Structure 1
Amino acid sequence: MDIFRLIQDIKTHLKLSFDEVDRWFEKDKETLNFQPSNGGWTVQQILEHIYLTNFYLLILIEKGSKKAMRNYLELDLNSEIKNYSFDNKKFEKVGKHGAFEWIRPEHMEPKGELRLNEIRNLIARQYHQCLDYLDLMKNGEGLLCKTTMTVNGLGKINVYEYIYFLSLHAQRHLTQMKKNESETIKN
């Protein structure tokens, strides 16, 4: 496994996802506040949900990165890299809205307590946090810690995969926001 290629691919994925999320903050108020006919969230609520989910995932990513860096002193990183293969197939449904049942915890539901510009700034900071963790674990150390991810039965995933999951989660909701926008246009 070329670990440097994996890290670069995750950085690229993050940039594309976060750039696309950021463009939604430029939408007009009608698009941002449109209530879809299925009773789902408005675009602004989805943006807040992305921030909240990132917030909680980043807590796990931070803990995982610290543990991975500690494990670097005890485990054979070269062996881990040699024996690792990234299973993209395992993750592909995560980025697709409606691909599977996803029951989110209540603390990840939007409450409407943040202004749009606050959400935008917080999400931008979260993007940079992800990049900082990838820079910290630039030699493959992120493979040295695995944490269980219950969503869609992913099981134990490493820190890089958690960061990739975070990026895929944003993509999942980009599709949802596009559906909202297309319904706004029809009305």
Structure 2
Amino acid sequence: MTLEYILINLKRELIRTLAVVDEWFDRDPALLQYRPASGGWTASEVLEHITLTNHYLLIVIEKGTEKALRRKHELTEPLAIPASYTLSNQALLDIAQPDVFAWQRPEHHQPTGEKPLCEVRRTLRDQLEQCLIILELLPDGEGTLHHTTMSVNNLGKLDVYQYLYFLALHAQRHIHQLKRIGQEYTAPSVACDA
């Protein structure tokens, strides 16, 4: 698979995933505020959490982008991407799957419910735009020139492209959670026989 193909698919994955998240803002307000029987987050809290996590991932991604671009300018030979380069491995793909591994979420990724949903939605859309701008800045493999450690699921060092993919996979993980909330909300309640 060529780098061009990988980057086109990464762009599509970011757009598709964040569009699915964005659609949740149009759901019934009662569904968005429904607290699951397990006591977990409401859909609106999940949406806020996604944007909080994106915020902190994008800080790392922006810094990595700057360092990768500096490294490109320091190269004395043209940048060569190995033919074996891949965006993902199984540990990275597992990020999108709920319940595959225990995830220790940092406290600052905890939703507060203080932000209006319209502002959370605007933030999500701005974050997608930020991701697409980063991809435009790194069209020729520059994103492979800088790696940053990712401790989640023992992923180790990820390049800038892989961090962007992580962002999309994290959102996909929560799309599963949103679907479960929606299914529970619409499931007919079981009447107890007395």
TM-score w.r.t. the length of structure 1 is 0.95
- In structure 1, the residue matched to 2:152 is 151
- In structure 2, the residue matched to 1:134 is 135
- Counterpart code for 2:181: N
Structure 2: how far apart are the matches of 1:72 and 1:128? 23
Kept after mapping to 2: 8 A contact 1:77/1:144: no
The answer as to 2:53 corresponding to 1:53 is yes
Structure 2: how far apart are the matches of 1:95 and 1:109? 19
The 5 A counterparts of 1:152-171 are 152-171=153-172
Structure 2: how far apart are the matches of 1:81 and 1:102? 32
The 5 A counterparts of 1:75-94 are 75=75, 78-82=79-83, 84-94=85-95
Structure 2: how far apart are the matches of 1:90 and 1:77? 31
In the TM superposition, what is the alpha-carbon distance from 1:87 to its structure 2 partner?
A: 3.3
Structure number with larger C-alpha Rg:
2
- In structure 1, the residue matched to 2:121 is 120
Kept after mapping to 2: 8 A contact 1:42/1:180: yes
In the TM superposition, what is the alpha-carbon distance from 1:77 to its structure 2 partner?
A: 5.4
Q: Which runs of 5+ in 1 are unaligned?
A: none
Structure 1: how far apart are the matches of 2:168 and 2:86? 19
- Counterpart code for 1:63: K
Secondary structure of 1:139's match? coil
Kept after mapping to 1: 8 A contact 2:31/2:185: yes
In the TM superposition, what is the alpha-carbon distance from 1:50 to its structure 2 partner?
A: 0.3
In the TM superposition, what is the alpha-carbon distance from 1:33 to its structure 2 partner?
A: 0.6
Q: Deviations over 1:19-45 (max 9, x none)?
A: 100110000111101100111100000
RMSD: 1.3
Structure 2: how far apart are the matches of 1:77 and 1:165? 28
In the TM superposition, what is the alpha-carbon distance from 1:81 to its structure 2 partner?
A: 4.0
Identity of aligned residues (%): 43
